């Protein structure tokens, strides 16, 4: 039967398109698998590092406990030489004896100090008093820590308080008592919050860390606000560099559906031109800018939410920023972006199951389970926002199937 050139061309197209789409899917699947392998290697490396740190911390904790017990035992037995020996070892670990002996000052001061006069310097504090008994030395002072961990308040026998800078070098030896302590858990949390929310002042960050304020976000614009837990008063805040650009109408509700608008040089140019000056106008540009911002703000919102969760220390947050990176790139196309999104979706799905399991593990402390549940909710919200579709057998998504059918219908 004779076929016109047009009919022959349509037949060739009908045969070629599925082959082309399969090749495209194979390339994307290969890139996806390579990214998954990279993530798994990073995850295993992170877990190995954490295990090593935990073992090191447990060994250090065990050693400190042993030295502390021996030090206290020596003090109770009235053996100043033995007490000084164990106390010096504690000091060499960066742990002043005062943090272990709650009712007495650091060992050097216990051994060498006796005065009823106001103490104004570290030199006076180490005056020689060899005739004092160990019990007298222990009962001579009480210490309390102030906000600056390098300063301690001492009370002389008359009850007068004196603040001493414990980082000053003593004149008769090479050691410096009272090294600044490691950053407290609260201060570390405050720093993480301020890092996640640029421009936030220390007072608000402290209230968020202590629970009197909470952070809420607009799931569409990605802008966040701070809400007073007691009064429900809301203070609108905006992350540095972010702008509010919400179109009147937009085509997709998920990041997956918006990926075709958010990628490529044209999209990047529209976004760059539209945000500062409005040079590129119209509904297409508006949707393009919104799509790019929605991807970026959704990713940032997940990082912010997890950064104030104790289950995600700074090191893991930094690693998460690299792994959950779906920011549109200049030379991206929808296929490349969606490949990254699938890899991120796979990683977060595994992490979601891990957090859900932890939240149900009755062997864990209550706070740990609550934090795991909060993390699971944040991750689940982001996974839903991404909206990565489930694949059919053979690695073809519903979107691919629709595209193939569209071309086949046009070639009949």
Q: Please spell the DSSP secondary structure of 172-198, one letter per residue.
A: TSS--SSPPPPPPHHHHHHHHHHHHST
On whether both 257 and 405 belong to a single domain, the answer is: yes
Tokens 């966040």 correspond to: 224
Answer yes or no: is pLDDT of 408 > 60.
Answer: no
Tokens of 312: 């995600």
| pLDDT tens readout for residues 69-94 | 887 777 777 777 777 777 777 767 65
For residue 300, tell me if it sits in a domain. yes
On whether both 155 and 213 belong to a single domain, the answer is: no
Task: Find the farthest-apart pair of alpha carbons in the chain and give their distance in angstroms, rounded.
Answer: 121
- Name the pLDDT band for 173 (thresholds 50, 70, 90): very low
On whether both 176 and 206 belong to a single domain, the answer is: no
pLDDT reported for residue 241: 42
Which of 208, 226, 244 lies at the terminal end of a domain, its last residue?
A: 244
- Name the pLDDT band for 228 (thresholds 50, 70, 90): confident
- Name the pLDDT band for 353 (thresholds 50, 70, 90): very high
For residue 92, tell me if it sits in a domain. no
Which of 194, 216, 244 lies at the terminal end of a domain, its last residue?
A: 244
Share of the chain above pLDDT 90, in %: 2
What is the tally of structural domains in the chain?
Answer: 3
Contact 138, 102 (CB under 8 A): no
Dump strand ranges (E) for 193-347. 213-217, 224-228, 234-237
Domain around 152:
101-182
For residue 15, tell me if it sits in a domain. yes
Answer yes or no: is pLDDT of 339 > 60.
Answer: yes
Answer yes or no: is pLDDT of 391 > 70.
Answer: no
The residue with greater pLDDT, 356 or 1, is 356
SS (HEC) of 339-367: HHHHHHHHHHHHHHHHHHHHHHCCCCCHH
For residue 27, tell me if it sits in a domain. yes
Mean pLDDT of all residues belonging to the chain: 65
Query: Alpha-carbon distance 351 to 52, whole Å?
Result: 21
* Nearest CA-CA partner of 388 in 353, 338, 326: 338
Helices within 308-333 (DSSP H only): 314-323
On whether both 164 and 297 belong to a single domain, the answer is: no
Which of 130, 151, 182 lies at the terminal end of a domain, its last residue?
A: 182
Share of the chain above pLDDT 70, in %: 52
CB-CB neighbours of 8 under 10 Å: 10
| pLDDT tens readout for residues 186-221 | 777 887 777 677 667 788 888 888 888 887 755 444
pLDDT reported for residue 356: 92
On whether both 177 and 192 belong to a single domain, the answer is: no
| pLDDT tens readout for residues 262-296 | 454 333 333 333 333 333 333 434 555 566 677 77
- CA 377 → CA 88, 95, 102, 356, 373, distances in Å? 48, 39, 41, 9, 6
| pLDDT tens readout for residues 240-254 | 444 444 444 554 467
- Name the pLDDT band for 52 (thresholds 50, 70, 90): confident
On whether both 172 and 194 belong to a single domain, the answer is: no
On whether both 275 and 174 belong to a single domain, the answer is: no
Most confident range, picked from 23-27, 57-61, 77-81, 298-302: 23-27
């Amino acid at each position: 039967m004779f076929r016109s050139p047009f009919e022959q061309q349509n037949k060739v197209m009908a045969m070629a398109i599925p082959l082309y789409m399969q090749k495209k899917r194979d390339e994307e699947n290969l890139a996806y698998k390579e990214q998954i392998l990279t993530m798994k290697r990073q995850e295993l490396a992170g877990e190995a590092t954490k295990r090593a740190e935990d073992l090191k911390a447990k060994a250090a904790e065990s050693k400190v406990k042993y030295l502390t017990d021996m030090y206290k035992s020596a003090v109770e037995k009235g053996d100043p030489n033995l007490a000084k020996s164990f106390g010096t070892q504690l000091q060499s670990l960066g742990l002043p004896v005062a943090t272990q002996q709650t009712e007495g000052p650091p060992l050097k001061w216990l051994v060498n100090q006796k005065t009823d006069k106001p103490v104004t310097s570290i030199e006076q504090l180490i005056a020689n008093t060899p005739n004092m008994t160990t019990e007298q030395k222990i009962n001579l002072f009480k210490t309390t820590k102030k906000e600056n961990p390098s300063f301690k308040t001492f009370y002389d026998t008359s009850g007068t308080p004196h603040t001493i800078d414990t980082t000053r070098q003593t004149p008769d030896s090479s050691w410096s008592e009272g090294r600044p302590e490691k950053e407290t858990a609260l201060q570390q949390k405050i720093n993480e919050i301020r890092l996640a929310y640029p421009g936030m002042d220390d007072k608000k960050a402290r209230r968020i860390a202590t629970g009197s304020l909470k952070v809420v976000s607009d799931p569409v614009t990605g802008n966040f606000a701070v809400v007073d837990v007691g009064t429900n008063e809301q203070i609108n805040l905006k992350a540095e560099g972010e702008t509010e650009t919400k179109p009147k109408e937009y085509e997709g509700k998920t990041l997956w559906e918006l990926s075709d608008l958010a990628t490529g040089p044209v999209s990047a140019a529209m976004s760059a031109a539209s945000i500062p000056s409005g040079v590129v106008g119209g509904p297409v540009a508006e949707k393009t800018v919104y799509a790019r911002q929605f991807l970026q703000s959704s990713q940032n919102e997940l990082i912010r939410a997890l950064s104030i969760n104790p289950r995600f220390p700074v090191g893991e947050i930094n690693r998460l920023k690299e792994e959950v990176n779906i920011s549109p790139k200049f030379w991206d196309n929808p296929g490349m972006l969606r490949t990254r999104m699938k890899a991120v979706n796979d990683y977060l799905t595994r992490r979601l199951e891990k957090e859900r399991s932890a939240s149900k593990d009755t062997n864990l402390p209550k706070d740990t389970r609550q934090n795991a549940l909060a993390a699971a909710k944040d991750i689940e919200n982001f996974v839903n926002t991404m909206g990565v579709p489930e694949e059919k057998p053979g690695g073809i998504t519903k979107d691919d199937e629709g595209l193939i059918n569209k071309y086949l219908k046009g070639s009949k």
